[in-house]
Amino acid sequence: MNKTIKTVEVPEEVVMSKIYVIRNEKVMLDRDLAELYGVETKTLKQAVKRNVKRFPEDFMFEMTLKELEDWRSEFAAHGDKKGLRYAPFCFTEQGVAMLSSILNSDRAIQVNIQIIRIFTKLRNLLSTHREILQKLEQLEKKDIEQDDKIMLIFEYLKQLEKAKQEELEYKNRKQIGFKGKN
């Protein structure tokens, strides 16, 4: 039984543009996920409410009214008018993964896999970014240590030059006193 499944490819940029940071978490909103999955937001929310035990606070949370207002004003300023009337559900990476267990359409499963891969890529980029910052800090510390060592070398060179100068002055000074026959 070979079923041909039509593959769904959503451009990474589209998915990434729908990832927001709320409560210091990278999240996707219910309406954006519903659009990507090809279902109505109402349908997605109903499925989540029927399976609410699968979505603890670190998987999904509902925006507070204050967060909703802040979010609206931020994106209205960028020309993005998201006419939300109700506070949306915000899904973390784990929440998006859990959605695949309650939404069983082929499209939802394929899009979910893409989204999880993008979240993973973002996490890897952040990890790489952190590593680069740490290496730069280490280089900066080494640079400061090297600067101190170079300054010490210059100080020694100055002292050596001063000693050579004094020795030269001593040699070239006019001799006074008794001069013996050679």
In this prediction the pTM is: 0.59
Residues of the chain with pLDDT under 70: 1-8, 75-84, 179-180, 182
Inter-residue contact 72 to 29 (CB < 8 Å): no
Nearest to 95 by CA among 63, 66, 58: 58
Amino acid at 20: Y
> What pLDDT, in 10s, does the model give residues 96-113?
888 877 877 777 777 778
pLDDT value, residue 83? 60
pLDDT value, residue 72? 81
pLDDT value, residue 62? 92
CA 144 from chain centre, in angstroms, equals 27
Domains of the chain: 12-131 (3.10.260)
3-state SS, residue 154: helix
Work out the angle at residue 77's Cα, subtended by the Cα atoms of residues 74 and 83, and round it to the nearest 5 degrees. Answer: 75
- Structure token pair of residue 123: 């996490």
Nearest to 91 by CA among 171, 34, 169, 173: 34
pLDDT value, residue 136? 74
How far is the C-alpha of 62 from the C-alpha of 52, rounded, in Å? 12
> What pLDDT, in 10s, does the model give residues 70-99?
888 876 555 554 566 778 999 998 898 888
